[in-house]
Chain A
């Protein structure tokens, strides 16, 4: 199925975010070849120009590399992966805190709840 996109963000950005997440999760390995613009467009059901923009943006960030005549490849720099993970982590935490504060949970209670959850079940569910 074609995926659904959120309304608040440009589609090219959402696809870029998805690729980054897959990279951080290890679903895409460093140096792996990404689908061509056309293939990617068909997979996601979007205009190829959008994918062009996605790849352009990722290249500007240094996440992917375009080799002439060969295609687009994920970066091989491990440092980049670590950096991206930190970034995603920070975003998630920020969102989590915002949500908790939104329902009126105090900061102290948040840390307690998180610690308890970590000890109790040994795992925390993200998103």
Chain B
């Protein structure tokens, strides 16, 4: 379980997050939506232990988040993460050496699923291949918490589709807590259980995806539009 209690993040006078209170339950899949600058990324970085709250606290499975939370959290960041001079295989070996929960078997399966060439340098990969490699690295970890920050950024619909299939195939549903931030809601919507809209650092709205269709006849995309 992930819990944010009265979390505020200030950069000088600008508030990236404003008194956020949220709970993410174990084994569920959450989507976080919102425009650029809404605080989505900051929130993910905080849960990954890369940014510290100015006020409030974040707990993951009963532990206060600091740098060592990387043991329990597999984090896909929207920038960085891959070293251009390393090959796909070297990236995998590096991750395997750094995280105890990294499963080589899963990595091999994902390598085939994502159709990646193991001897290729990451610098030579297309954007879509890089996105798939990042996902491979994160999904190969059997961590209790998965944080995917903009996994679809800059990817075309076919690749997005592969990634959604990858998520469904390789997430341990009911055990792993997954949070995904995205602009591209269409492909991912059927996978989500709950969606949260952030706006200007505040929780703007929250919904249960299937209940939204059942009770209001709205898709998350329509709901998102109706909220602005």
Q: Do chains A and B touch in the complex (CB under 8 A)?
A: yes
Partner of A48, one of B161, B173, B192, B218: B173
Partner of B213, one of A10, A44, A45, A48: A10
| Beta-carbon contacts under 8 Å, B168-210 to A | 168-169, 173, 187, 190-193, 210
Interface size, chain A (Cβ < 8 Å): 20
Q: Which DSSP category, helix, strand, loop or mixed, fits chain B's interface?
A: helix
Chain B residue with Cβ nearest A40? B168
CB of B222 within 8 Å of the partner chain? yes
Q: How far is the CA of A63 from the CA of B222 in the complex (A)?
A: 32
Chain B nearest CB, measured from A62 CB (Å): 22
With A9-B213, A10-B210, A50-B210: A45-B218 Cβ-Cβ less than 8 Å: no
A48 touches B217 (CB 8 A): no
Contact between chains at B165 and A42 (CB < 8 Å): yes
A42 touches B190 (CB 8 A): no
Q: Give the docked Cα–Cα distance between A12 and B191 (Å).
A: 11
Q: Is B112 an interface residue (CB 8 A)?
A: no
Taking the complex as formed, is A8 at the interface, i.e. its CB lies under 8 A from any CB of chain B?
Answer: yes
Given contacts A1-B161, A2-B165, are A47 and B190 in contact (CB under 8 A)? yes
Instruction: Tell me whether B169 and A42 are in contact (CB under 8 A).
Output: yes
Within 8 A of B (CB), among A80-103: none
Q: Is the CB of B193 within 8 A of A49?
A: yes
Closest to B220 in A: A7
* B-chain residues with CB within 8 Å of residue A41 when the two chains form the complex: 168
Contact status B214-A42, CB under 8 Å: no
A12 and B210 in contact, given A7-B222, A46-B190, A48-B173 (Cβ under 8 angstroms): yes
Do A45 and B217 have beta carbons less than 8 Å apart? no
Number of B residues whose C-beta is below 8 Å from A?
20
Q: Is the CB of B187 within 8 A of A45?
A: yes
- Decide: B168 and A42 in contact? CB cutoff 8 A: yes
Report the nearest B residue to A15, measured CB to CB: B190
Of A7, A10, A38, chain B has the most CB atoms within 10 Å of the CB of A7
Q: Mark B157-169, 1 if CB is under 8 A from A, else 0.
A: 0000100110011
Chain A stretch 1-20: residues in CB contact (< 8 A) with chain B: 1-2, 5, 7-12
Given contacts A1-B161, A7-B222, contact A46 B168 (CB under 8 A): yes
| Residue numbers in B under 8 Å from A48 (CB-CB) | 168, 173
Q: Which residues of B (210-228) have their CB < 8 Å from a CB of A? A: 210, 213-214, 217-219, 221-222
Query: A50–B213 contact, CB under 8 A?
Result: no
* Residues of chain B within 8 A of A10, CB atoms compared: 210, 213-214
Supplied contacts A7-B222, A11-B190, A38-B169, 13 more A-B pairs, CB within 8 Å: A2-B165, A2-B190, A7-B213, A9-B213, A10-B213, A42-B168, A42-B169, A45-B161, A45-B191, A47-B192, A48-B168, A49-B193, A50-B210
| 7 A-B residue pairs with CB within 8 Å | A10-B213, A41-B168, A45-B161, A46-B190, A47-B173, A49-B173, A53-B210
The 9 closest A-B pairs by CB, nearest first: A7-B219, A46-B190, A8-B217, A10-B213, A10-B214, A10-B210, A48-B173, A45-B164, A47-B191
